[in-house]
């Protein structure tokens, strides 16, 4: 992938660091490895970052107050599974918005249409287990809605059908919408007497 006229990122290799170390009288420093990420990972990170930017813009316009936006890995939640094993819930982000007199709590899952539907269902099962643990409810007073942000109507329908495999009482935990519609839906005024 190239950007602009010259889309290159240049870093020193091990040889380059070795040459620089020969010229230095200072104590050698630990060198950083250059890691090239895959385009799918970059697109995912940029999509989550774009959500943050749009929420900041909505906050500045007075649509909603952005109280908290926590990305990975700080948004992850650790809890004990049914058998006592350690389980880690890995949302892409945790969002807390003030809308009028209410707070909206949301776990964000930015889908890029790269994961299989069984993988999506397994991740949702971890959310259900986390919800049943009661940890988030004790800490926040309510369980955050899990928002799946998807790139297309086809993917939205596929995930909606896949989530029907979950227990009926868990269906209310999940919301699925197009990525382009996420901010307007997350920041819409809540009905009287309702909070999420």
Does residue 85 carry a pLDDT above 60?
A: yes
Q: Kindly report the number of other CB atoms within 10 A of residue 146's CB atom.
A: 23
- Spell out the domains of the chain, with CATH numbers in brackets: 38-186 (3.40.1350)
For 10-24, the pLDDT digits (tens) are 666 667 766 666 556
Angle, to 10 degrees, between the axis of helix 117-133 and the axis of helix 153-163? 50
Q: What is the 3-state secondary structure (H, E, C) of 23-57?
A: HCCCCCCCCCCCCCCCHHHHHHHHHHHHHHHHHHH
DSSP for residue 168: G
For residue 147, count other CB atoms closer than 10 A to its CB.
Answer: 23
pLDDT tens, residue by residue, 39-64 = 888 899 999 999 999 999 999 999 99
Give the C-alpha separation, 124 to 117, whole Å.
Answer: 11
- Per-residue pLDDT, 69: 97
Higher pLDDT, 176 or 8: 176
């Amino acid at each position: 992938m190239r950007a602009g006229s010259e889309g290159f990122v240049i870093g020193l290799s091990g040889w380059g660091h070795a040459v620089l170390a020969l010229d230095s009288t200072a104590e050698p420093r630990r060198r950083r490895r250059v890691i090239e990420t895959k385009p799918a990972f970059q697109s995912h990170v940029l999509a989550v970052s774009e959500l943050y930017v749009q929420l900041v813009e909505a906050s500045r316009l007075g649509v909603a107050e952005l109280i908290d936006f926590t990305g990975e890995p700080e948004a992850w939640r650790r809890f004990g599974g049914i058998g006592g094993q350690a389980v880690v819930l890995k949302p892409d982000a945790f969002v807390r918005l003030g809308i009028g007199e209410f707070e909206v709590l949301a776990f964000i899952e930015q889908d890029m249409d790269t994961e299989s539907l069984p993988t999506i269902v397994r991740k949702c099962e971890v959310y259900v287990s986390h919800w049943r643990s009661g940890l988030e409810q004790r800490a926040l007073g309510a369980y955050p809605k899990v928002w799946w942000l998807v790139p297309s109507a086809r993917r939205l329908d596929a995930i909606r059908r896949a989530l029907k495999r979950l227990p009926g009482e868990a269906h209310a935990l999940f919301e699925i919408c197009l990525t382009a519609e996420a901010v307007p839906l997350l920041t819409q005024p809540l009905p009287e007497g309702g909070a999420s």
